[in-house]
Structure 1
Amino acid sequence: MSVPPLFISQSSPALLDETLSAVARRYRVPADAVRFPPVAGASPATALAIVIEQAREVVVRHEAPDAALKQLFVDALARLIREAMRAESGDPVFQAMVLRHQTSAVREYASLSAHAERDRRAVHAAVNSFAHPARQHRMPAGRQRDALAWLHAAASVEAWSEFDERLRRVSDEPGLSSEFAFVRHVAELLDSPALARLRRLDALASDERVRRYELLRDRHGPRPGSAAAVAHGVASKQRGAAVEALATQALEVLARRLNEADGAFASYCVVNSMRVPSSIPASHERAKTEWDAVLLRQPKSHDEPAAWDVCLLVEAKASVDAATTDFPRLLRGLDLLAHAGKDVVYSFQTQQGTLRLRGASLGALRTDEAALARTVLYCCDAPAEVTPRLLSAAGRMQLLSAEASLEFAGALAQKQHADVGKLEPVWHQLLESPKWSALLNQYSTLGRVRELMVHTDDFQSAVSNEARPSASKGECE
């Protein structure tokens, strides 16, 4: 199925369509992947993906899934939970979640930990306001200066119980200070909710269940904010930049071919990091507002240089799953662009400078399957899986995070009888709750995303087909 060309001459769209059609889709999900009932040998995640898709198809027909399908779902979910709860090969994130669900001390610890960094900054700021080493050096030697150094050192090592004890000793020391400001600072710290939370966090850290919770978190990977996590983030960003560079190279070759085919009527160019202006009248919340690489077209005119039109939007992803996670933002981003006024010209900031884009071009963008196939590509350099994962990571975690799933897992952890019938509420949430609609539609979404996804090698191969040397590099002027 095709859509009418948007602001492009009759020859160039054909070349663009032919190129996009020629790109191999190695990430595509097999069309019959969920057409057969789950077999005994299927993994729990695969069985769930199949059952969920079959349930979606029944719901689309305005029918009610039968009891047999429900039983397949709860049995597969029970297997998924049992698999995740295995001591050695299970899922440490889920096991930590179950422990938090079961234990009030762990819940309190997790809640306090979520705000601990903010509390640490608040206490350090309060201490530095009156006990910073620079302030100490300006004071005469004596008991007060020693007390400030003592307090600052305790805060620096973040031994909060010891720090609180030192504060109280300083506060109770008769004649230590005649300065009202010093006394006030110490009193404010003693009453500080941030310090109280940090002390409670220290006390909970010695709890055996909390220590197990921390061990499970450590098994999952580096902690947020740690040096290892920062290094991982830098590496991921570098890989994403490398994928974007490869995708941009392919787009530039495509721009040269389009310039050769349509040079008498229009110019084509490629820009990176195209940022959506706030002047477009629609909500920017949770929408993609920066596009990695964009192929643009500018009609040739004898008048003033015309504004540019959008031809192809390309997003670079370092992993296959990242595209599925990104897809809702991409759809909202397209909807945002489509709210542009058709008679308005908008200024977009890019790495190549400021460019003027026609609102009519943006307003013509659509999110239906056929339109997406002609206007959006996800580029990735990750190898395609031998067997595609049919249940998304986000969908799997949503199933595991359900209250009924956590209760079932808690019974398993305590070596109690775990009745699979207790998982039926998850089935009803899947079919009835708007919060679960993304999971109910997750397989069809997966199929849509994978259709838009190409490997950088395949993209470069398709656009280079029959490409000829040209003086034009597809640069925006």
Structure 2
Amino acid sequence: MSLSPSSLLLDETLRVVGRRYRLPALATAFPDVSKASPSTALAIAIEKARVSLARGDVPETALKNFFIESLAQMIHDAMRSEYGDPAFQAMVLRHGAAQVREYALLLAHADQERREILAAVNAIAHPAKQQRIPLGQQREALAQLHASASSAYWAELPAIAQRLLAMPQIADHASLERGLTRLLDGPALGHLQRLDVLASDDLVRRYQSLWDRNGPRSGSATAVAQGSASQQRGAAVEALATQALEALAERLNKAEGAVAPYRVVTSMRVPASIPGNSERAKTEWDVVLLRKAKGFNETPVWDICLFVEAKASVDAATTDLPRLLRGLRLLAHAEDGVVYSFKTQQGIVSLRGASLRALTTDEADLAKMVLYCCDAPAEEALRLLSAASRMQLLSAQACLEFASALAERQAADAQSLEPVWQQLLEAPQWGAVLNQYQMLHKVRELMVHADDLLLAAR
């Protein structure tokens, strides 16, 4: 069956749109790997190992040694005092010091436990509740309890709670007595007190200083501001992608020469009526090009033509791709004869189940069905080792022990890193690292700049 003029035009648009993020061949980009940075050398070694395993071969010893040497050099660089990686140095400090490990463990739950304490104190000593109690020592102690919790003075809280429990009039307030007992008997208050004690330890202070150098603390005003700025940037990229796809839809409609069969919707949310497992799958699609399905005369029913996902960076798209693939597999669970209702910013749209069922994650089909749209400049220096893969490598037990030896100025033998190589080749949990270059290559093949997409669409 011959393709319609608009289908041919859509295929041609996807073929000619600029791909400024595309990766060059490794041999072309890095003819002499000895001059590559340690992280790039590692990415190349990992990819060569993957290719070797895919052929059914065992990677050569020379490749293993190259991997180990590159990993050792990356750890050396990360441990440099001035230009190193403060996040990794903090991990190494936590690995070697028991009090830092305890502090980090308590800190991970501290926000939740603070909320628990505040909720417990508000339940018995909120200012509105204080007003119901006659003036006197009990009301004064409740005010102190609330003030201490609000100011995070955890050391004072138990003594105030004990003083309240010792007051004779507490016997007339069973709920107040129960609340104070729960507050004292629960683990949260002790954890927060211990956290305050550990915070004065020199190694803990060093640990926190390293994390502060790595970026703002979670929940801080700076972190919130950065998150807000990132969201605004993502929204701006999505607006550019929508503009480009609307221009493309207009051009396709002109090529069709009939009643406009193409339309664009944004924020398309997958209905729960589609069977399949939605866990960790993309269930909201940024910008979608639809084509009106034939044979539905009363209510318009649509077929999927193209998904465009807006991302502020290449890294964001690389992280997103596994979720996107799971999202396509979820949609492909649709039933042929069923029409599904999707919520979008433009209202409810009805999609034909057969169109959804035809979606695949095959690489050739993916290139005709999905684009990542970005407005970031193409980087001059390629970063072939993803941030997630780098961190998984550095977090390996052997790497932390090697780095600890460096930090203590002890002899550190690079061959002690060989277990990381074996894990990479054999352990399922290292599959994402082993396939990381292949994933990066796939993402960059799908990625276009917003300006290039708009130019091709027009």
Query: What TM-score does the superposition give when structure 1 sets the normalisation length?
Result: 0.92
Q: What is the SS of the residue equivalent to 2:155?
A: helix
Q: What is the SS of the residue equivalent to 1:354?
A: strand
Out of 84, 87, 92, the residue aligned to residue 81 of structure 2 is: 87
Q: What is the 5 A alignment of 1:38-437?
A: 39-172=33-166, 175=168, 177-181=170-174, 182-264=176-258, 267-299=261-293, 303-437=297-431
Q: What is the SS of the residue equivalent to 1:406?
A: helix
| AA at the equivalent of 1:28 | R
Query: 1: CA distance between counterparts of 2:48 and 2:387?
Result: 19
- Cα deviation, residue 374, structure 1: 0.5
Q: What is the SS of the residue equivalent to 1:94?
A: helix
Larger helix percent = 2
- Cα deviation, residue 196, structure 1: 1.2
- Cα deviation, residue 161, structure 1: 1.1
Q: Which moved more, 1:16-25 or 1:295-304?
A: 295-304
| AA at the equivalent of 1:137 | Q
Deviations 1:330-384 (A, max 9, x none): 1111111111111111100000000000011111111111101100000000000
| AA at the equivalent of 1:249 | Q
| AA at the equivalent of 1:290 | E
| AA at the equivalent of 1:382 | A
Q: What is the SS of the residue equivalent to 2:26?
A: coil
For structure 1, the 5+ residue unaligned runs are 465-477
Alpha-carbon spacing, 1:48–1:37, altered in 2? closer, same or farther (3 Å): farther
Tell whether 2:421 aligns with 1:443: no
Q: What is the SS of the residue equivalent to 1:270?
A: strand
Q: What is the SS of the residue equivalent to 2:106?
A: helix
Deviations 1:298-348 (A, max 9, x none): 045583234100000000001111110101001111111111111111100
Q: What is the SS of the residue equivalent to 2:261?
A: strand
Deviations 1:147-172 (A, max 9, x none): 11111111111011122233334445
Aligned residues: 457
- Cα deviation, residue 185, structure 1: 3.1
Q: What is the SS of the residue equivalent to 1:27?
A: coil
Q: Is the 8 A contact 2:138 2:164 kept in 1?
A: no
Query: 2: CA distance between counterparts of 1:434 and 1:33?
Result: 28
Deviations 1:117-136 (A, max 9, x none): 11111111111122111122
Query: 1: CA distance between counterparts of 2:360 and 2:288?
Result: 16
| AA at the equivalent of 1:385 | E
Alpha-carbon spacing, 1:175–1:341, altered in 2? closer, same or farther (3 Å): closer
| AA at the equivalent of 2:415 | G
Deviations 1:99-148 (A, max 9, x none): 11111111111111111111111111111122111122222211111111
Alpha-carbon spacing, 1:192–1:111, altered in 2? closer, same or farther (3 Å): same
Alpha-carbon spacing, 1:361–1:300, altered in 2? closer, same or farther (3 Å): closer
Identical columns (%): 63
Query: What TM-score does the superposition give when structure 2 sets the normalisation length?
Result: 0.96
- RMSD over aligned Cα atoms: 1.8
Query: 1: CA distance between counterparts of 2:182 and 2:248?
Result: 65
Deviations 1:183-203 (A, max 9, x none): 443333221211111111111
- Cα deviation, residue 239, structure 1: 0.6
| AA at the equivalent of 1:357 | L
Q: What is the SS of the residue equivalent to 2:382?
A: coil
Alpha-carbon spacing, 1:227–1:19, altered in 2? closer, same or farther (3 Å): same
Query: 1: CA distance between counterparts of 2:246 and 2:143?
Result: 61
Q: Is the 8 A contact 2:113 2:188 kept in 1?
A: yes
Q: Is the 8 A contact 1:38 1:50 kept in 2?
A: no
In structure 2, the residue matched to 1:474 is none
Q: What is the SS of the residue equivalent to 1:417?
A: coil
Query: 2: CA distance between counterparts of 1:269 and 1:449?
Result: 26
Query: 1: CA distance between counterparts of 2:336 and 2:383?
Result: 41
Query: 1: CA distance between counterparts of 2:177 and 2:54?
Result: 70
Q: Which moved more, 1:449-458 or 1:100-109?
A: 100-109
Alpha-carbon spacing, 1:432–1:422, altered in 2? closer, same or farther (3 Å): same
| AA at the equivalent of 1:313 | F
Q: What is the SS of the residue equivalent to 2:301?
A: coil
Q: Is the 8 A contact 1:266 1:300 kept in 2?
A: no
Alpha-carbon spacing, 1:32–1:166, altered in 2? closer, same or farther (3 Å): same
Query: 2: CA distance between counterparts of 1:302 and 1:415?
Result: 75
Deviations 1:206-252 (A, max 9, x none): 11111111111111111111111111111111111110111111100
Deviations 1:380-428 (A, max 9, x none): 0000011221111111111101111111111111111111111000000
Query: 2: CA distance between counterparts of 1:397 and 1:130?
Result: 45
In structure 1, the residue matched to 2:4 is 10
Q: Is the 8 A contact 1:267 1:300 kept in 2?
A: no
For structure 2, the 5+ residue unaligned runs are none
Alpha-carbon spacing, 1:177–1:286, altered in 2? closer, same or farther (3 Å): closer
Query: 1: CA distance between counterparts of 2:296 and 2:269?
Result: 29
